[in-house]
Amino acid sequence: MTSNKEAMKGLREIAVGGIRFKSNVLMAPLAGYTCFPFRLMAKRLGAGSAYTEMVSADALKYNDQATSKLLYTDEREQVKCVQLLGAVPTVFERAAKSDLLAKFDVIDINMGCPVPNVVKAGEGSALLDDIPRASKIIEACKRSGKVVSVKCRVGMNGSRIVTEEFARMCEASGADMITVHGRTRAMMYDGEPLYDQIRLAKESVSIPVFANGGICSKDDAEKMMELTGADGVMLGRYGFENPLIFSELTGTECSDTKYTLITEQLELAQECFDELYVLSYIKKLASYFMKKMPGTKRLKADLYRCGSVSELRDVLGGIFERSGNAD
């Protein structure tokens, strides 16, 4: 439960292009997780923005059911941000100008995903090694007239750091904002963020620079802001593990517990998606919420045996409410 807590140092509203975010604490795109219900929750708890799951720019041409779920939104999400993945500038331009993305205000370009099959396709962090192509992709997205942000890493590995050159290229190509994950591609998701490299990016450009990587508490967020001079922070996986962190960082009053959050998510997901998707999403979210709880192995077994929403609801009550782990 959060009430009347002091926000992190440096909290403020921030303008990105022509869009104003209510706070400079953002939720990162997470493939398989940041669906519409989760984005609404993060924003209610104080996040200035939250991005869709990673969407393949090329896959948009198929307009299939899976893609429509990734892009689901409605008027309750006031500032709509989508993240695109790809490697071909013309494909990005077609996607950015498509009717499918007409409802989105901000396009974020994924230039940081370190997953091997993404990198082998020349996408994600592979673009750190192809700065001319990365520039053309940003320019292509800007021709849509939308606000464009870029999420990147500091380089491919310790001997191939490109922070300053890449940040300058992003700004020169028309990007309105950069989020720098303070690790190399080789570091994946482990190790202390390279704070000095994020600071270098911030000092190299005049557009907003957000810092990402290793933020799991208010202390972590304040340390990141102090050491990098960043305009704000973007939370990754910990935002999914404990969404109440947004309330803690922004001083947003709430009386929620993990139990009230998970039941709210269940109701929202039922409004938007079919039962199979609801079961899959809520089980993943609940599994994150259960980290560090006693008896997790047995509880997860009970959770994943659920075959219907009604059964899932009962099991969630047993895990988070009646077990005394509602907070």
Structure tokens at 112: 């940081």
CB of 289 within 8 A of CB of 301? no
- Cβ–Cβ under 8 Å, residues 166 and 204: no
Q: Where are the alpha helices (DSSP H) in the chain?
A: 36-44, 65-70, 89-96, 116-120, 131-142, 163-173, 195-204, 218-228, 237-241, 244-250, 258-272, 275-289, 296-304, 309-316
Closest CA to 311 of 273, 283, 271: 283
* Angle, vertex CA 173, rays to CA 167 and CA 176, nearest 5: 70
* Identified catalytic residue from 113, 141, 170, 306: 113
Return the residue matching tokens 């990016």.
Answer: 201
Q: Decide: 62 and 98 in contact? Cβ < 8 Å.
A: no
CA dihedral 102, 104, 105, 111 (to 10 degrees): -110
d(CA 284, CA 298): 15
Task: State how far the Cα of 160 lies from the Cα of 138, in Å rounded to an integer.
Answer: 22
List the Cα angle 145/151/153 in 5-degree steps: 150
**AA identity, residue 305:** R
In the residue annotation, 216 being an active-site residue is answered as no
Which positions are catalytic? Answer: 113
